[in-house]
Amino acid sequence: MHPHITKDPNICGGSPVIAGTRFPVRSVVFYSLRIGLTPEEIVEKFPHLSLAQIYDALSYYYDNRSEIEQDILENTEETVLGTKD
């Protein structure tokens, strides 16, 4: 259903990533929806990614919103460093 997205327990802790990379879907969501970069700007910033991969990552997010929101919560800097209350 999402040809550019994979999940592997040995890559990024099993979080969904862009296939062939270690770039998590949550990062695409962060750059697009939180920072406000367009898909084209994301590709410009990360030239190893394609526009199709970015759009598929966003599609995956909208199809699996609660999973990705949880992934974002579990991988914030505060949570990873153990400083989140």
The domain locations on the chain are 5-66
**Average pLDDT of the chain to the nearest whole number:** 91
Q: Tell me, what's the pLDDT at 77?
A: 60
Select from 3.40.50.720, 1.10.3720.10, 1.10.10.10, 3.40.50.300 the CATH code of 5-66: 1.10.10.10
What confidence score (pLDDT) does residue 76 get? Answer: 75
**Residue burial 8-17, b: 16+ Cβ < 10 Å; e: rest:** eeeebeebbb
